[in-house]
Structure 1
């Protein structure tokens, strides 16, 4: 984990961005002072509630990436730039999480009620807040990087990653089809590892891992069209796809088995009929009687049924299978990282792997 000094410096940059956004609201034309103050009061609560508060690994990875690529301690300007880009990744995360919690009807996030569950927010407001959080990324990017030589490249990374993640979200939320606005009968044939891997690549790998690495490369002037640049971005993508799949499978296992007070949220993958690694693996292993447990209980908001599904996972020894998979992925990542040139760039991926290996929340 980052030390307290790292966190303090990083959070100070968050406060800078928040202050700039509040100032933008204050300067909106053709609004009365009363309306402006209402907006300022509302978003002065929304932003610190939804944006900071997580582990901040995505944001800190941008700073780490710029450091290893520069091969030295960053100047004050470089640190500020890298931290702003890092916070914009965290802003993207906030946009996704606010929307995702509504889609999944989740209850808690980071140990507190989901934003749409906060009194006086309402689901309608929270949907609009997710859209505003997304827009704030581009306001801030334009404010700080419009004159930077890599501005267009940085901009396109956020646009491309948002599209990729939303494709992944569609795959995730449509594991069970709907007809006339109602959920169709559960179709277990849709829960395959092939579908799962496609979902993970687009929903998790790009925004949780690749984006931070690519932003660091772009900020440091690596052209994705040059031979050297192409090779570096491709190596980063290759490692990030493995790390992202490992991270998401880890997330699925924690959703089912980690205590909510440790995880920081109440897992709902079973109730929400998610195409998780656990159900995909279970369907490869079950006999007819075990399959009936999934048919009868998967995707239903029934605590007893959810518990029966979890008991089936334990009966199939899926946790043990996951731990074996985890060690295989660690070995595969180590080997892939060791082949990256320049050698100092390896430190970024070692940093990322260290953040997720055997994590508990």
Structure 2
């Protein structure tokens, strides 16, 4: 965690751990039928190429709380969070009707296409949707299985934070789904979605899990929350900006995809707050339509919403940086580079 080489070594170990885990699952599937190879292939392909932020935050919590950097058990514990992330994304893409993920077809679209290519009977779209639900559920189960298999003696204490993480991300997803049914969403309401759908499960709970695995006390857990919540919120606000203005070649998603899908993000809430009457009418009528994407992106810029969200990100970064410095010890060395990676990114 102290150098690019160390980061690369850890992510490589995470990658290998995920691959070995799926090969073990594949051996179990072999007794159940050959069709299950397709599910194993889809699982490992889906988690390839991610940023590995959640495992890195889990490792960071471990190190800041005094965990041994050479302890092999921290790798599968941290890597297990990739299955939680995979589960959330597979289901998220299905709910949003997204066509792509990381430059490739979303799982439900890929299996819809495979249904057609194989000349199967029945509804291709329904088949793709069903497989996406099942694969997301399987990945969620694998998260628990891999976390427990780390065999660290502190796993029972850390499981409390994994349980909270799963509950909070579902709650945040539900708040998001409900928010999409409303004509408008205030900035405060949109930020509540950010906190539970992203900030806690991307940064706070992975930090807590790693720290709990290292035997952290309640004071350390609370201090990590002071870092994690503003940092996690800044992470998601950056995601919102990239969802409108990101380079498709880097993000793997079409430009303006969030606007096309009608997502009521903080960026959209800021635009509604700052725009004039004509701008608010454009948001009401155009959000969720392909034809209005360019006009909405322009409105977000000209209304000052983009600048306001960038200012929010800078403010939250400063809060997180100050909390990292207050932690002292290994925290600045471990967490400052990771904070930059989370918020100063192009994908």
TM-score interval w.r.t. the shorter chain?
0.7 to 0.9
Alpha-carbon offset, residue 90 of structure 1:
0.9
Residue number in structure 2 paired with 1:183: none
- For the pair 1:317 / 2:304, whether they are aligned, the reply is yes
Asked if the contact 1:58–1:208 (Cα under 8 Å) also holds between the matched residues in 2, the reply is yes
Cα deviation for residue 24 of structure 1 reads: 3.2
Kindly report which structure 2 residues correspond to 1:218-233, keeping only aligned pairs within 5 A, or say none.
218-222=212-216, 229-233=217-221
Residue 233 of structure 1 aligns to a residue in which SS? helix
Q: 2:227, 2:324 within 8 Å by CA — same for their partners in 1?
A: yes
| TM-score under structure 2 length normalisation | 0.87
Aligned partners of 1:51 and 1:94 also within 8 Å: yes
| 1:141–1:333 CA distance, 2 compared to 1 (3 A) | closer
Please, which of 252, 262, 270 is the counterpart of residue 264 of structure 1? 252
Q: Is the 8 A contact 2:25 2:40 kept in 1?
A: no
Determine if contact 1:52/1:90 at 8 Å carries over to the other structure.
no
Q: Determine the C-alpha separation between the residues in 2 that align with 1:333 and 1:142.
A: 30
Paired residues for 1:89-108 under 5 Å: 89-108=81-100
- Shift in Å, 1:103: 0.3
- Call closer, same or farther: CA 1:233–1:69 in 2, change over 3 Å: closer
State yes or no: 1:336 paired with 2:323. yes
CA-atom RMSD in angstroms? 2.1
Aligned to 2:34: 37
Residue 71 of structure 1: how far off its partner (Å) = 6.8
Q: Is the 8 A contact 1:99 1:127 kept in 2?
A: yes
State the secondary structure of the residue aligned to 1:334.
helix
Q: Deviations over 1:66-101 (max 9, x none)?
A: 3343376x33xx1x3111011111110000000000
Per-residue deviation at 1:2?
Answer: 4.7
TM-score (norm 1): 0.84
Q: 1:127 aligns with which of 133, 144, 150?
A: 133
Aligned residue-pair number: 328
Name which of 193, 203, 206 aligns with 1:199: 193
Aligned equivalents of 2:60, 2:226: Cα separation in 1: 19
Shift of 1:139: 2.3
How far apart, in 2, do the equivalents of 1:17 and 1:352 lie? Answer: 26
Residue of structure 1 aligned with 2:164, choices 160, 164, 168:
160
